[in-house]
Structure 1
Amino acid sequence: MGRGSRRPRSTRPGTFDPNDTTRVKHTRIGVWDLYEQINPALAHVPGSSYAEKAFAAYECLPYLLRMIHDILSIRSCWWLLTAYTLAEVGQALLPAASLWYSGQLINILQTAIDTRTVDASLLFHICVGRVACSIARRLLNHALPSLRGPLARRLRARYSIHLFHARARLDLPTFEDPLVQRQLEEASSTSGSIAYDTLVMGTGIVSTLLQVVSQVGVLAQVLGGQRDGWLLAMLSFATSMGDWVTRWNVFATEQVWAATTKDKDYIQMVGMKFVVNNMEHRKEFIAGNLAEFMTREFKEVSERVGPDNAVDFHELRRESRSKRRFSLFGFLQDPLRELPQIVFTLRAVQYPASMPVSLASLNLLQQTTSHFSFTVWRFFDQTSSITEQLSTIRKLYEVANIPNRVEDGKVPFPEDAQKLRHGVSLEFKNVSFKYPGSDQYALQNVSFKLLPGQLCVIVGANGSGKSTILKLAVRLYDPFDGQIFLDGHDIRTLRLADLRAAVSVLFQDYTHFPLSIRDNIALGDPENFHNEAHVHMAARLGGASEFIAKLSEGYDTYLDKPVRDYFSGMPEGTRTLFGKQIDFSVVRGAGGMGSRASGPGLSGGQMQRLAVSRTFMRSVVSEDAKVGLLLFDEPSASLDPAAEHDLFGRLRELRGNKTMVFSSHRFGNLTRHADLILFMNESVIIEAGTHDQLIQQQGEYTRIWMLQAQAFL
């Protein structure tokens, strides 16, 4: 699908095949091919589609009840919910109250015509009542938005926590699944508003019903005693009710459809727009001197496409659907609207004396019909179908129940926490593994054993499987074949939380969180997250404390601040704001323009030292025996030779008696001290032993060692 296309939300089972002409209708709209499902399952059974949708809605009801329970459990929402409900009820009943007072004025007019007298006291009370209704309406119009904002924010906060936990609990292979990502995206796109939208929909339905019932009841009382009152009422409401009935489908869902275009000129035209609009292409665009050429080509392509086709699909579809809406009933609606006026005119000719009362009744009916129609159309405009809304609620809750691929074990680890001080044993037995979606082996029949406290260095070219060994050791993935043992226990049987608490790992593709430098380091040991002494010690051991001290905000520095600063109408000469560098590659924000403050511009080596510091935070800073296995994946890749030598020295000194696995494509001083070196190539171990043993074998390890040694001669 093209950029910006919207995903349809469908609860229908089965598949959608655009080539199935028996179930899918094809329509050509400009340069677009539109495919719409026209024959869902059981379509030949009368009423089956409504029954299917009703059953789908029924299955979602438990999730609706759960949402109601969750909303009511928010203590700070009680008074807001009560006030909001009362305000909605009051606003729903006000039109009927105003209509009743208008009816009383008509009665006073009828009495004045018949008896030539006016009850001044009654007229005064009616006038006061109408004024009170106007004041109440103004107050409620002010109160409802004031209540909706805080209510929406509290509901958004409640479900932000729900979604945060739903994402946080997912393991790596589950999180990487495209279907899971789509489910998360669908839940995320509605999590901030689904509870509020459901509340608004529910109160909207109740409010609409109250307005309709109350207004019909008052009209029956007002017009019941008047000549042709019911006829005028029926004719006035007929058109609006016709519109309502034709659009009312309480179990309506989004139609299953798909659209694509194969028009080469249109695709090229859109591609050219992205080239000239996006910053990522600007460097090559300028260096290639493409401005005049691309402008000329874009003009020619646009002329071939034509102005009627050079528009987004959704705009073309809206135009197409609006043309389809023309029907005989729609054609007759406007003439039908004139019938009340015609009936009134005929009645006035027949009974001239009743003209003032009839005129007042007609005016009252027209005002009521207009307000009634506006209420109905606003209701349909602001709310989606009930089935779709219930389906969205179901998605929001089901996302918290996505099963993880890596199953948790039941055996606690370790049996004796003090043993972690002396390291743990690690053994791979005939382990083979393929990454999800790949046909190539990342590891194939890999076996080795590390004793407690030993140092293992895995060397080899990029893509040989070094990082995969570390990922399997901490159970980010499970192997396809073979077993992995930690202190003699199959790691599949160990509790995941215990296993990962006993292992400290730094991956090659490490990441920095959009938090402060202090928080980035502290997250290495969540139990000591607020321990400033541990954070500073970890930074010193990781070699980061020196450059952190030179930053203007020190440990409070954000590498990439997640919250934008907003501004508007800023002179272009302004280069700093709020003490930070800014630029004008801005995005539109609420109430103005926004820009993310630029980071401190750390080098790759400095960023890597921060990652090492985070690893040290848990593995060597704490005096508690929590970690027995240290895993380092290419921690020196971005370091210069001097910094690498310094890091290796500190690693040897600070690991103490802990077991360490260190992967690298460089051979250095660390390999000389290794108890076991695994030389890998194309997912298998081709050589294993100590440095001296491998040098004596005169194999691939020796050849690469000599090549790297000669590079520094």
Structure 2
Amino acid sequence: MFGRRRTKGIFDPNDLLHTKHHRLGVWDLYVQYEPKLSWIPSSWKVEAYAEIINDLPYLWRTIRDVGRTCWHLLIVYVVLLIGSSLLPALSLWYSGQLLKIVQTAVDDRTVDKRVLFQVAGGRMTCSLIERVSRIVEHRVSSALNNRIKQYYSGHIFHAMARLDVPTYEDPVVSSQLDSVIPTNRHSIVWSTLSGLLNTGTNGLRLCTQSFVLLGVLQEQRDGHLLTLLTFSNHALSLLSPDQGLLGTGGTWAWAATTHDQDYIRMEGLKRLVTGSKHRKELVAGGLSEFLTNRYRKLVDRLGHRAGDFWTQYNERTTLGGLEFLRLIRQPLKELPQQIVFTLRAVQYPSSIPVSLASLNLMQQTSDAFALALTSLAHQAGSIAERLSGLRKLYEAENIQNKVQDGTMPFPEDAQSIRAGISIEFKDVSFQYHGSDEYALRHVSFKVEPGQLCVIVGSNGSGKSTILKLVARIYDVTEGHILVDGKDIKTLRLDDLRRAMAILFQDYTLFPLSIKDNIALGDPENADDEDKIREAARLGGAEDFIARLPDGFDTYLERPVRDLYSGLPEGTKTLFGRSVDHSNFGALVAGGGRDSAGSAGLSGGQLQRLAVSRTFMRSSVSEPKVGLLLFDEPSASLDPTAEQDLFARLRELRGNKTMVFSTHRFGNLTRHADLIMYMHDSVILETGTHEQLLKAEGDYSRLWKMQAQAFL
């Protein structure tokens, strides 16, 4: 967990010079302080303001984009804010006039009724206008927020969709994306614009109130003294450490953790019994009483130290709020009225009724003014953070992918792809990011155009990695890959991937309908239902899809959740979907697991859908696809379905190059033009099925071992 701002460098909890340690129950809290400019109070704000200048270009860009989208709403909103900021000063002026009327009535025993009605009517009109403007302002702001969210949702979607796998897996990039995705009903852009506009109008409100307040004070006895005492109280409140452990003036970052094994074990037990993942094992093992006793012992042992971080933090903040300055703040708040009222009662006893009214007015006005000033200071302090959010939003679309695009078109001759594509690895080695082990080590081979190549080996041997490198999901660590004799890094990525169809072992099915899942195999023909059905037939999915109540419109994972709460336990279905009573107190259902499981699809059926998606591209777009890559496409299929799939694959192949990875030895390897046997990230044997059997190496041994199982 981190504080409100992020800086360069490293957060080191063990750095005693720059980090303070606090013990909160079972939690250890480490708070980092920036030594630079630490002698200046709130110096971190000074440095934050310096960042505003660098981020201003993004503000102008935002204003242009929003202006093009909904300029009329923005103008109306600004006008409403300006009008609302002027109303408090006008209301204050009317209050001052009312005090003059009361003072005249006390001194001269006369009242100008016409002026009195005008002043009273003016105050009522101000209140009415303020009320109406707030309602209109709320509606306009809601419309603005919705329009802005719609506009920038496409921006954020594109920024995320364009990232390649290694870039998306980068923790720094993930953090940047998290910072621009809206987490509530307000978008980053709207929060920034509304915050800046409110800061500006608050400044205008203070200026107009100051001007009117000075005029009112000039006509009131001891008015300046009352204001001085009131502001002294608010100045004292700023010195009081209200912000707690995480908000003091040099705090830059903080982190909290717990090393208490009893607390960690207790939380683990809570997750075990509250989730559905382990329910079968819990019931089958008869663990209920054992776990309950273990949990109760942990609770007794931890006592008051147990609790989530924020509970412990809030308790510390509350208990720590008894400092001297906090204790005397409330008496000081009452002191201004007491001093000024006493002075007036002694000096001008006849004016006590007027004094009470004027004192109350000035106290309220001074309090409101001081609070507005404090609010303005806090809003101004957040400007840098708000502008930084705009910068991150626009920079998200410029994140550089780690897999760089090539410049050469592929293929040079569109008709040549019909004969297949050649692939050559030259001394290729590869490591996944963050791993010390090589997934591939000094791998070299060549697959000629139109050949069927089968890569055989156990799980983790490197088979899938080869296919991912051919599709340039990742780039090699060492060595070179040639496609039709050209370095794969020089080819345009879109052209290269359009020329191949690939099915990964760790395939995923999208939270969309079955029809969309298959159609996205070839987006250019995504609306052709006949071709979608043909792809489903080739993938062996047509029959079970037809048995589903919604057929091709069945959702594998419903992306919109149903809302419900407190349903009777007898309610088994709602809106045609199963009701989940296990989420105590939850208001959601129908999402997440309202997918394959609820549709009754097996692992083999899901895999057939993935195969159908691959067939969609290769069968429909045959002139554009010359390379088929299949990574364990039969892992979840029974023998009959597997045999049927292989027959379809041979039918589909035609003259295309096919690379097939599997840990099974069977009918497909007998038809292979080239077999590569892999083990522990290296290729140990290559050849045809007959050649490898004659060589009597590991391939031959494993082939005979699998064949023996069926004798």
Same fold (TM over 0.5): yes
| Structure 1 partner of 2:50 | 55
CA contact (8 A) 1:32 1:260 kept: yes
3-state SS, counterpart of residue 255 of structure 1: strand
Aligned counterpart, 1:353? 350
**How far apart, CA to CA, are the structure 2 residues paired with 1:658 and 1:252?**
67
From 106, 109, 118, the equivalent of 1:113 is 106
Matched, 1:184 2:177: yes
Give the deviation of 1:302 after TM superposition.
2.1
Shift in alpha-carbon separation, 1:276–1:489, aligned structure 2, 3 A? same
Output the CA distance in 1 between the equivalents of 2:153 and 2:656.
40
**Match runs of 1:573-592 below 5 Å:** 573-586=570-583
Task: State the distance in 2 between where 1:419 and 1:251 align.
Answer: 68
Q: Which amino acid aligns with 1:578?
A: F
- What is the aligned length? 702
Of 458, 463, 466 in structure 2, the residue corresponding to residue 469 of structure 1 is 466
Deviation at 1:312, TM superposition (A): 2.2
Q: Are the equivalent residues in 2 in contact too, given 1:252–1:385 (CA < 8 A)?
A: no
- Give the corresponding residue for 2:64: 69
Matches within 5 A, 1:115-194: 115-188=108-181, 193-194=187-188
**Which residues in structure 2 correspond to 1:183-582 (within 5 Å)?**
183-188=176-181, 193-243=187-237, 255-307=252-304, 309-337=305-333, 338-372=335-369, 375=372, 385-582=382-579
Find the aligned partners of 2:568 and 2:379 in 1 and give their Cα distance. 40
Measured against aligned partners, the alpha-carbon deviations of 1:396-429 in whole angstroms (never above 9, x if no partner) come to 3333332221111111111111111111111112
Q: Is the CA contact (8 Å cut-off) linking 2:430 and 2:441 kept in structure 1?
A: yes
Q: Distance in 2 between matches of 1:372 and 1:507?
A: 65
Query: What secondary structure is seen at the aligned counterpart in 1 of 2:637?
Result: coil
Q: How many Å apart are 1:459 and its aligned residue?
A: 1.3
The 10-residue stretch of structure 1 (64-73 or 599-608) with the greater mean CA deviation from structure 2: 64-73
Q: Is the contact made by 2:560 and 2:590 (CA closer than 8 Å) also made in structure 1? A: no
Worse-superposed segment, 332-341 or 433-442? 332-341
Residue 617 of structure 1 deviates from its aligned partner by 0.8
Structural mapping, 1:93-104, within 5 Å: 93-104=86-97
Residues 420, 626 of structure 1: 8 Å contact kept: yes
**Secondary structure at the counterpart of residue 428 of structure 2:** strand
Which residue is equivalent to 1:3? Answer: none
For structure 1, the residue ranges without an aligned partner over 5 or more in a row are 1-5
1:49-93 C-alpha deviation (Å, 9 max, x unpaired): 55533333433333333333333232xx32322222222223222
2:224 partner letter: W
Q: Is residue 2:43 matched to residue 1:20?
A: no
SS at match of 1:183: helix
Deviation of 1:696 after TM superposition, in Å, equals 2.5
Shift of 1:658: 1.0
Q: Shift of residue 497 of structure 1? A: 0.9
Q: Percent identity?
A: 55
Change (3 A) 1:681 1:481: same
What is the one-letter code of the residue matched to 1:404? Answer: N
Change (3 A) 1:319 1:385: farther
For residues 12 and 629 of structure 1, the distance between their equivalents in structure 2, rounded to whole angstroms, comes to 47
**Separation in 1, partners of 2:523, 2:39:** 60
Query: In the TM superposition, what whole-angstrom CA distance separates every residue of 1:86-118 from its partner, at most 9, and x where no partner exists?
Result: 222232222222221111111222222333332
Aligned to 2:74: 81
Q: CA deviation at 1:169?
A: 1.5
**Per-residue deviation, residues 144-191 of structure 1 (Å, max 9, x unmatched):** 332232222222223322222222121111212233223322333559
TM-superposed deviation, 1:587: 7.3
Q: Aligned equivalents of 1:246 and 1:344: distance in 2?
A: 27
Aligned partner letter, 2:126: C
Deviations 1:671-709 (CA, angstroms, capped at 9, x unpaired): 222111112222222221222222232332222222222
Q: Please give the alpha-carbon distance, in whole angstroms, between the structure 2 residues aligned to 1:92 and 1:251.
A: 31
Q: 1:485 to 1:227 in 2, by over 3 A?
A: same
How much does 1:613 deviate? 0.8
Higher alpha-carbon deviation: 368-377 or 643-652: 368-377
Query: Which of 181-190 and 429-438 deviates more?
Result: 181-190
How much has 1:380 moved relative to structure 2?
Answer: 7.9
Contact 1:253 1:388 (8 Å CA) reproduced = no
Tell me what 1:673 maps to: 671
Change (3 A) 1:567 1:253: farther
1:636 counterpart = 2:634? yes
Do the aligned residues in 2 keep the contact of 1:679 with 1:686 (CA within 8 Å)? Answer: yes
Structure 1 residues 220 and 557: alpha-carbon distance in aligned structure 2, compared to 1, 3 A threshold: same
Change (3 A) 1:708 1:299: closer
Q: Deviations for 1:184-216, whole angstroms, at most 9, x for unmatched residues? A: 223335595321221232122123222322222
Inter-partner Cα distance in structure 2 for 1:350 and 1:615: 95
Give the structure 2 partner of residue 601 of structure 1: 600
Structure-2 change in CA distance of 1:420 and 1:663 (3 Å): same
CA distance in 2: counterparts of 1:539 and 1:376, whole angstroms: 67
Offset at residue 490 of structure 1 (A):
0.7
Query: Equivalents in 1 of 2:654, 2:311: separation in Å?
Result: 67
Matched, 1:612 2:611: yes
Counterpart-to-counterpart distance in 1, 2:572 and 2:52: 55
Displacement of 1:48: 6.3
CA pair 254-519 structure 1, distance change in 2 beyond 3 A: farther
Distance 1:241 1:21, change over 3 A: closer
Question: Matched residues in 2 for 1:261 and 1:213: separation?
Answer: 49
RMSD: 2.7
Task: Report the more deviating stretch, 456-465 or 361-370.
Answer: 361-370
Q: Secondary structure at the match of 1:687?
A: strand
CA separation of 1:143/1:588 partners in 2, compared to 1, >3 Å: closer, same or farther?
Answer: farther
SS at match of 1:37: strand
In structure 2, the CA distance between the partners of 1:314 and 1:567, relative to structure 1 (3 Å rule), is closer
State the shift of 1:327 in Å: 4.5
Is contact 2:422–2:448 with CA below 8 Å preserved after alignment?
yes
SS in structure 1 of the partner of residue 427 of structure 2: strand
Given candidates 77, 85, 94, the residue that maps to 1:92 is 85
1:246 positional shift: 6.6
Deviations 1:230-287 (A, max 9, x none): 2223333432354357789999786322223333333333333223322223333333
CA change 1:649–1:272 in 2 (3 A) is closer
The 3 A distance-change label for structure 1 pair 698 and 306 is closer
CA-CA distance at 1:431 after TM superposition = 1.4
Q: Kindly indicate whether the alpha-carbon contact (under 8 Å) linking 2:196 and 2:383 is maintained by their aligned counterparts in 1.
A: no
1:34 is aligned to 29
- Per the alignment, residue 655 of structure 2 pairs with 657
TM-score, with normalisation over the residues of structure 1?
Answer: 0.92
Kept in 1, the 8 Å contact 2:242–2:321? The answer is no
* 8 Å Cα contact 1:506/1:611 also seen in 2: yes
- 2:670 and 2:366 mapped to 1: Cα distance? 91
Cα distance in 2 for residues equivalent to 1:264 and 1:245: 39
Q: CA deviation at 1:493?
A: 0.6
Contact 2:561/2:588, CA 8 A, preserved across alignment: no
